[in-house]
């Protein structure tokens, strides 16, 4: 299992890097909005704060073509260092094969079912990213969702890995790992508590 830091704060990333416990960083539009700088600048600072590892950015452009252009532009900021989080919609899934052929790391995010996992694996996603706590609140059992996702990946013998997100306590982190998550992404406060 690998730990990722869920933050867009360069200070948080520097602290996590000092601890030597994280292999990468995940950001999202809400986290980036908390930092008073353009997203591109924040991503560069986060990459600099963590000397190695993948820094994930979530695509947000309005149209499919704009998301394709956004993906190439953002990944080009630091080639080989920035991964893409692509929200799981039918339209967005068409981007994944094209972007992975370009050599880009793609994580299909906001995965809330085994059905979505099946599609993410079929289009060649490197990661599926379920929101554990949110799934518990909306569906009743986020840990069970991780188990179902792991079962689908195993049945398909897919290379796709689970990067579980959305944790509110350490029990969820440990249980998601036991349920089959290959990686987890957590806040700095959870990381320090862990």
> Is 85 an active-site residue?
yes
Gyration radius of the chain's alpha carbons: 16
Of these residues, 56, 85, 86, 164, which one is catalytic?
85
DSSP string, 7-54: ---HHHHHHHHHHT--SEEE--HHHHHTSSS-HHHHHHHHHHHSSSSE
Residue positions annotated with a catalytic role: 85
């Amino acid at each position: 299992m690998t730990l990722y830091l869920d933050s867009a704060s360069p200070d948080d990333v520097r602290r996590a890097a000092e601890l030597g416990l994280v292999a990468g960083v995940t950001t999202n539009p809400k986290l980036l909005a908390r930092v008073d700088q353009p997203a591109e600048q924040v991503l560069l600072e986060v990459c600099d704060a963590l000397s190695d590892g993948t820094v994930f950015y979530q695509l947000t452009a309005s149209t499919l073509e704009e998301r394709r252009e956004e993906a190439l532009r953002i990944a080009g900021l630091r080639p080989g260092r920035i991964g893409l989080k692509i929200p799981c919609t039918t339209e967005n899934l068409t981007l994944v094969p094209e972007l992975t052929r370009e050599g880009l790391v793609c994580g299909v995010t906001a995965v809330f079912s085994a059905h979505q996992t099946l599609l993410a694996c079929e289009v060649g996603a490197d990661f599926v990213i379920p929101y554990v706590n949110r799934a518990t609140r909306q569906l009743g059992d986020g840990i069970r969702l991780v188990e179902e996702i792991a079962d689908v990946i195993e049945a398909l013998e897919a290379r796709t890995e689970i990067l579980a997100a959305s944790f509110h306590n350490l029990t969820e982190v440990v249980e998601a790992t036991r349920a089959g998550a290959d990686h987890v992404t957590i806040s700095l406060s959870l990381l320090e508590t862990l």
